[in-house]
Structure formats: structure tokens, C-alpha cells
Structure 1
Amino acid sequence: MSLARPFFRTTSLAVCAAAALTLLSPASTPPARAQAAQAARQPTQSDVAKSDSAKPDSTQPPAAQTNGTGNGAAVDQPDPSQQKSLTTKAVEKAKQAAKSAGDIFGRVPCLPPKGGAKSMGSLPHVAGKLAAGQPVVIVAFGSSSTQGYGTSSPEYAYPNRLAAQLRRQYPGADITVLNRGRGGDDAPEMMKRLQAEVIDAKPDLVIWQVGTNAVLRNLDPAETAKMVEEGVARIQATGADVVLVDPQYSPRVTERAESASKMVGLLGKVAALRHVGIFPRFEVMREWHEKQALPVESFVIADGLHMNDWGYACFAQLLGDDIIKSVGQIKLGVNVPAAVQRYRPM
């Protein structure tokens, strides 16, 4: 209590001084008194909140202001210094994302499968363009695990992770990775948007994740495989490379073991028949658990189905490693026959 008394006396003196000034001020200057009172009054939390809400978002360029009818009116273009500031922020954000990618593996390393890897094969179209320094378009096609459900941020979805890895490897290349994932979809829905969302993008590589929702919805694995084969043929007709990604190894999928096994096997047969790549996600994730002794909870979120940040990051890393290896084969002049173009993790 004794610590508060000096402050109280000082405050009392300040109040008395303010009162004296008020009595001495001319009666003809009420605006000046109002300004002095306003300056002396300390802002409350509500005042600060109102002030902040009235400020424009400093991270956004000035938007078109509206008139009374709601129509946009032209405004001055953003100052070049503001544009430079936005660019600097974007660069810093990219650096932070790269650091995050490294940090996540610093806690738990992403290791390639120890055994069972099959012949890698090549991705001649996309690898050839990367080797030549030409622009590349990759379409990630699939459902919620392509969309990135389960990540802590959209930038941690596997297509974004893959794009970041390839851009680090080929800093001078123009690499575009389009995320065409839509939660809940499987082959029937994907075939309906194949033309508009995949083929019309003129991709060099299509990574098609499919089959998980077919298992969960009890769809006929044979019918799913038939639709996937038709879709692969349409993509191949454009000259693009194709990589199929089979279902994930997670509790919600493994509880339907028979259906999951059939789906994995049939997608492998489609890949062999059409001579396209396949990333055996089911086998890779099972190895994380059974051979690398990682608890399922360390790579799958609480819903028992979708991967977490680490799971998506490791998946993207292994996928990117194989693409980079394929580019290396092209540069060395290694020609892999089409009959053994099987896309397997290193």
C-alpha cells in the first residue's frame, strides 16, 4: 500500500494543476479546452480497438473504394515502396517455409524404404523439360490428402512441399504445381473434372492420388480401376507423364483390409498395363510404422485417416527425390524402356 501513495499524491497534484489551467483559460476558447481534455484523457482498450479497426490493412494494397451505389471507383496505384515491401514479405515467408520443412525432419528424419523398392523407371517428359530448363507444369490430382486436409497450414500440403523441393533443386526453373485435390472425391467424381482441372492445364506430369475414398465408401475396386485406366489413357494422349498414388496406410483404411488390399493391387496393375509410374504410399507408410517403429499417431492425425505435417512432408520428399533422380537419368542419357517405367521410392 505504501508504494501506491506517492503515485496518488502525484496524480492529485496533476488534477489540481489541470483544474487551475481550466479556470485561467479564456471563456472564448472552448475548442482549445476540449482538445486539452482529449489529450489528457488516456485511451481505453475500446478506443484502441476502434482505432485499429479503422486502420487499413497495411499488408494489402489499396483496394478500389466504393461509392454510394456499391460500384468500384478507381484509386491511385500502390506506391512502389509498398510493392517492394510486399515482395520482401513474400521472400521472407518463402524462407520461413523452407526452414520449417527442414525443422520438421530435424525432429524425425524422413528415411527412404529400406527394402522392397522396385525398378525406378523414368518420367521422360517432365524430366526432359527440367533437364533442359524449360517451364514445367505439374498437376496434383486427388481428394482430401492432395488438398492437404490435416496440415497446420495450406503451405504444408504435399503439392506445396513438392514445389518447394523442386524449386530448391532447380532454382532457375519455372515450376508450377497445381493443387487439384477435392475432399471426398474418388474416381467417379474425378473423372467428371479430369478435362477441366487436369487436361486443360496442359500438364507435363500428373500425380493422381486415388482409391482411398473408394475403400471407405465400399465402391467396387474393379470399377474404380477401370475408370482410373480410362483416365490415365486420356492423360497419356496429351503426352504427359503420370504417377498414380495408392491409398494411405492408416487405421480408417486398414480396418477394411480386404478392400484396401484389392485397391492397392488393382492400381498397381493399371500402372503396369499403361506403363506409368506408381508411388506405393500404402507400402511406404506401413514401413514407417512396422520397420521404422514410428507410432501411427506420429504421421496420422486424430481422425485416423489423414496425414499430419510430417507425413505430408515425408511423402512429398520421397516423391520429389524420385523426380530428381529421373532428371539425373535423362542428363546422363539413360533410357529406361517403357515396359519398366515403374515409379518407386528410392
Structure 2
Amino acid sequence: MTISLHGSATVLFQGDSITDAGRLSDPGYPLGRGYAQMAAELVRSAWPDSDITFINRGISGDGVSDLRARWREDAVDLKPDVVSVLIGVNDTWRRYDSGDVTSLRSYEDDYRTILTQIREGSDTRLILVEPFLVPVAAEQWAWREDLDPRIQAVRRLSEEFDAALLAADGLLNQAARTAGGAERIAGDGVHPTPLGHAVLAEAWTALVGL
């Protein structure tokens, strides 16, 4: 499905460091320097007469429980017309680097809660971006045991909430093959390179009819 952005709308990007992309460390780039900024530029270029406001509230290091804790202030109160969410890789990463486990049930329940809250009393449209991993180290392949079920949960939620789905995991892994290696798309397997962000931005704009 696609979401029409023609006319007037407020679009909110939410997530972790992939969405943050430096916005908090560089006030000159309130949308960061990643896919959110690139997508906004593509939309503005294609529809210069539209009245679309883009907001980025991604915060580096966040997992789904962090997103739920700040959701009222950083999402619901902003009254967005469209919300784009990318969250989940930190819930996997922390299991492997610090032993901090977020169960699949907790992940899906928290994710469902934020989507329910943003839809209460509104017709907010949703774009769900799959969490992804483009392994650059052999040990990262083991992370798929934890991440893949989270990807499936996002797919279930996209159907449950009639949300547009950006199937980022397969997209970026295929892009890595095309580009000649995972490092060209995500230097550490998690954070996209400029090329990786561009791939995400193009796929995102396709979901809004660009």
C-alpha cells in the first residue's frame, strides 16, 4: 500500500540512531543526515508546492521500551498525520553485547501499544520500517536468531494496523550484494552508510507515492 502525502501534512520519523542520524549532535540538521533528511528532500523536490512538515524524534540507543516511555511527548502530542517507525535492532544488539534481553512478546506488546496510542481518536497513517541487519562480521549472523522474529512481528503489526511496510532487511541485504559488500551499505552491520541511507530514503518515498 502507499500513503498519499499531497497537500498539507505533518510527518514524524521515530526510532533509534538510524533515524536520529546525528540530529541531536548537530542542531543545523534537525532531520539528521540520514534517510529521514534524504526522504524529506526528495519529497520537497518532487512536490515543491505542497505544505508538508517533517519532524525527526529518533534517539540514538533507543529500544522499543524507550520509545514507549517517551511516546506521548514525542509522538502523540505532536499530532502527526503520518508516523514512520523504525525500532528494534537495539533490542537485539543489547542481548549480544550486554546480556540485556528484550523478549519477543515484550517487543511486540510495546510496539502494539505505541501504535494503538497514536491511532486513538485520530486517523494517523503509519509506515513501519523493518529493523534490519547487514552482517559484516561472522558473529553477527547469530543475531538473526533474535532479530528475525522481531522482523516478523513488525510484519504482523503492519497488517494489524493497516500500515505501509518498508521491508528494509531484505532490501538492504540485496543492496549490499549489488554494491559489492555489506560494508558499503552498513559499515558496522547496523548503521547505514550514506548509500544505505539513500536506499532506505528511496524506498520510503516510494511508499508515499513518489
* TM bucket normalised to smaller: 0.7 to 0.9
Task: Kindly indicate whether the alpha-carbon contact (under 8 Å) linking 2:12 and 2:84 is maintained by their aligned counterparts in 1.
Answer: yes
8 Å Cα contact 1:214/1:221 also seen in 2: no
Aligned to 2:39: 162
SS in 1 for 2:208: helix
Offset at residue 284 of structure 1 (A): 0.6
- Greater RCO (Cα-Cα under 8 Å, separation 6 or more): 2
Contact 1:215 1:221 in 2 (8 A): no
Paired position in structure 2 for 1:136: 9
SS in 2 for 1:244: strand
Give how far 1:147 is off. Answer: 0.4
Q: Secondary structure at the match of 1:181?
A: coil
Q: 2:79 aligns with which of 199, 202, 213?
A: 202
Matched, 1:297 2:183: yes
Give the unaligned 5+ runs of structure 2: 96-101
User: Which of residues 312, 316, 320 in structure 1 aligns to 2:205?
Assistant: 320
CA RMSD in angstroms comes to: 1.8
How far does residue 285 in structure 1 lie from its aligned partner after superposition?
0.8
Q: Distance in 2 between matches of 1:289 and 1:161?
A: 19
CA contact (8 A) 1:245 1:281 kept: yes
Is 1:258–2:145 an aligned residue pair?
Answer: yes
Corresponding residue of 2:20: 147
Q: CA deviation at 1:167?
A: 0.5
1:17-53 CA deviation, whole Å, 9 max, x = no partner?
xxxxxxxxxxxxxxxxxxxxxxxxxxxxxxxxxxxxx
Distance 2:207 2:66 in 1: 29
2:167 alignment partner AA = P
- Output aligned runs, 1:250-289, within 5 Å: 250-251=134-135, 254-289=141-176
After superposition, where does 1:24-43 map in structure 2 within 5 Å? none
1:159 positional shift? 1.2
Q: Distance in 1 between matches of 2:44 and 2:158?
A: 27
Tell me how far apart the structure 2 counterparts of residues 216 and 278 of structure 1 sit (CA, whole Å): 22
Matching residue of 1:221: 104
1:311 Cα deviation after fit = 0.8
Question: Percent identity among equivalent residues?
Answer: 21
TM-fit CA distance, 1:244: 1.1
Q: Would the aligned equivalents of 1:249 and 1:283 in 2 still touch at CA under 8 Å?
A: no
Contact 2:176 2:185 in 1 (8 A): no
Which of these two proteins has the greater Rg computed from alpha carbons?
A: 1
Q: Distance in 1 between matches of 2:9 and 2:58?
A: 19
CA shift at 1:173, angstroms?
A: 1.1
Aligned to 2:127: 243
SS of the aligned residue for 2:56 comes to strand
- The alpha-carbon deviation at position 293 of structure 1 amounts to 5.2
> Would the aligned equivalents of 2:166 and 2:203 in 1 still touch at CA under 8 Å?
no
Aligned amino acid, residue 201 of structure 2:
A
Offset at residue 281 of structure 1 (A): 0.9
Distance in 2 (alpha carbons) for counterparts of 1:197 and 1:190: 9
In 2: Cα distance, 1:141 partner to 1:300 partner: 20
Q: Please give the TM-score of this superposition, normalised by the length of structure 1.
A: 0.53
Q: How many residues align?
A: 193
Q: Are residues 1:175 and 2:52 paired?
A: yes
Please say if 1:122 is aligned against 2:7: no
Deviation at 1:265, TM superposition (A): 0.9
- The alpha-carbon deviation at position 122 of structure 1 amounts to 3.1
- Report the secondary structure of 2:70's partner residue: helix
Q: Which region of structure 1 is more displaced relative to structure 2, 245-254 or 221-230?
A: 245-254
